[in-house]
Homo-oligomer: A and B are copies of this chain.
Amino acid sequence: MPMTNAFYAQSGGVTAVINASACGVIETARKHADRIGNVFAGRDGILGALTEDLIDTSKESDDAIAALRVTPSGAFGSCRYKLKSLDTHRREYERLIAVFKAHDIGIFFYNGGGDSADTCFKVSQLSAAMGYPLVAIHVPKTVDNDLPITDCCPGFGSVAKYVAVSALEASFDVRSMKKTSTKVFVLEVMGRHAGWIAAAGGLITEHGIPVVILFPEIEFDPAAFIARVAAMVKEHGYCTVVVSEGCHYPDGRFLAEQGTRDAFGHAQLGGAAPVVASMIQEKLGLKLHWAVADYLQRAARHIASATDVKQAYALGERAVELALDGRNAVMPTIERIADEPYAWRIGVADLANVANVEKFMPRDFISADGFGITDACRRYLAPLIEGEDYPSYAKGLPVYATLKNAAVEKRLPAFHVG
């Protein structure tokens, strides 16, 4: 590959470690300054490529780029914008190629989940069809852990650690108050379709905590659930419920969307936890508390998994090496070698096999009754939350990087997105 510039964009919901992947990409590219000129980043993700709103990462010091490794969120901005089919929206794909061409970009790094893997794949196809030499590499990222082929997804291990630590701490709290106060604590976690994040709550049963998990993969059965909670409280005096935002009834209706209204009849924004809590209170009359972690869980860099941070960085690093090897339309992956002691290496997947495939919890990771995890699941999850990787602190708060994000001068006419 001749000397070329690279383009890097962050896609979809951000995580505690997506910037660690960015750090891996940029630091590795800087080591190969003889072959990669500049890394341009998309401002607000792929939108920045479409609107030619590029960020000049060469204006950031080595220290600033190194600080990305410990900074949560998307340092260049991300977006929820899925490029549609090549047939109906060919204009957008052609615009991407035009922008790449205008800025001598021969490498496209797209850091995201399933949708961005799909986009990355289509861009590689089109560039080949148009005769524009481009190497398109997808860097995996998603807290949902739902990408195929890779053993796990960067972002997930840190959310899993946050959920396990938080559930453990709150459970200790409830345990100490159970005599006269709260008997049930309900924690709502992310995972619209896959229950990986909720499963992490099951790791605390090894600490003697009674936990009931509600997975998206298991249709919600109110009577069975209430019976399970009642049995746990009878045996232990308290219990913790971890409910996935994707938990739903057999007809597909989410618990979080059961038409809650305030006294004036206004629709209330959902939340599975308050619904579950109300149900327990009504059926069992137990005092309870509930929490909704929402963004706190995916942004919690302060309690990131060291394993996750390492993998996120390594995937960014390998993405650059793959590009330098001319490997087009691929995604570096995590390959598990052993559970304990945990060992892993970086593999490579063809994007053709990644795009549009969602990976759910295997049924044998969920206990027979549907409310817990199995030992197989524990063996899978345990290494992913292993290790701490603390940011430094100043005045009591983590030192997180805010980049300059200097704009690259535009060379093309404006483009209207959408």
A→B interface (CB under 8 Å): 10, 13-14, 16, 44-45, 47, 71-81, 161, 164-166, 168-170, 172-182, 185, 187, 203-204, 206-208, 258-263, 266-269, 271, 273-275, 277-278, 281-282, 288-296, 298-303, 305, 382-388, 390, 393, 395-398, 400, 402
Look across to chain B and name the residue whose beta carbon is closest to the beta carbon of A291.
B294
A–B complex contacts, Cβ < 8 Å, 26 sampled: A44-B179, A44-B180, A73-B173, A77-B179, A79-B177, A79-B180, A80-B180, A169-B398, A170-B294, A170-B296, A172-B299, A204-B397, A206-B395, A208-B402, A261-B263, A262-B275, A262-B278, A266-B278, A269-B288, A273-B292, A289-B295, A291-B293, A291-B294, A293-B296, A386-B396, A387-B396
Minimum CB–CB distance for A278 against chain B, Å? 5
Known: A282-B266, A299-B173. A390 touches B390 (CB 8 A): yes
Look across to chain B and name the residue whose beta carbon is closest to the beta carbon of A203.
B397
Please name 4 further chain A to chain B contacts, defined as beta carbons within 8 Å, in addition to the given A44-B179, A173-B295, A266-B282, sorted by A numbering: A168-B397, A169-B300, A290-B294, A388-B390
Contacting residues, chain B, for A181 (C-beta < 8 A):
13, 79-80
User: Within the assembled complex, what's the spacing in Å between the Cα atoms of A326 and B266?
Assistant: 61
Asked if A165 contacts B398 (CB within 8 A), the reply is: yes
Known: A177-B14, A274-B271, A390-B390. A295 touches B299 (CB 8 A): no
Minimum CB–CB distance for A286 against chain B, Å? 12
Contacting residues, chain B, for A161 (C-beta < 8 A):
396
Known: A169-B299, A291-B293, A396-B385. A177 touches B260 (CB 8 A): no
Asked if A269 contacts B290 (CB within 8 A), the reply is: yes
Contacting residues, chain B, for A187 (C-beta < 8 A):
296
User: Within the assembled complex, what's the spacing in Å between the Cα atoms of A176 and B208?
Assistant: 39
User: Within the assembled complex, what's the spacing in Å between the Cα atoms of A105 and B402?
Assistant: 58
Contact among B74, B172, B204, B386 for A73, CB-based, below 8 A: B172
Look across to chain B and name the residue whose beta carbon is closest to the beta carbon of A292.
B292
Asked if A262 contacts B262 (CB within 8 A), the reply is: no
User: Within the assembled complex, what's the spacing in Å between the Cα atoms of A293 and B185?
Assistant: 12
Contacting residues, chain B, for A71 (C-beta < 8 A):
172
Contacting residues, chain B, for A292 (C-beta < 8 A):
271, 273, 290-292
Look across to chain B and name the residue whose beta carbon is closest to the beta carbon of A401.
B172
Query: 5 tightest CB-CB pairs across the interface, nearest first?
Result: A259-B263, A385-B396, A74-B176, A73-B172, A291-B294
Look across to chain B and name the residue whose beta carbon is closest to the beta carbon of A384.
B396
Asked if A176 contacts B78 (CB within 8 A), the reply is: yes
Asked if A303 contacts B305 (CB within 8 A), the reply is: no
Contact among B14, B179, B269, B277 for A281, CB-based, below 8 A: B269
User: Within the assembled complex, what's the spacing in Å between the Cα atoms of A258 and B265?
Assistant: 11
Look across to chain B and name the residue whose beta carbon is closest to the beta carbon of A16.
B169
Contacting residues, chain B, for A175 (C-beta < 8 A):
73
Minimum CB–CB distance for A181 against chain B, Å? 5
User: Within the assembled complex, what's the spacing in Å between the Cα atoms of A57 and B295?
Assistant: 41
Asked if A294 contacts B289 (CB within 8 A), the reply is: yes
Contacting residues, chain B, for A395 (C-beta < 8 A):
206, 382, 385-386
Contact among B274, B288, B300, B387 for A166, CB-based, below 8 A: B300
Asked if A260 contacts B268 (CB within 8 A), the reply is: yes
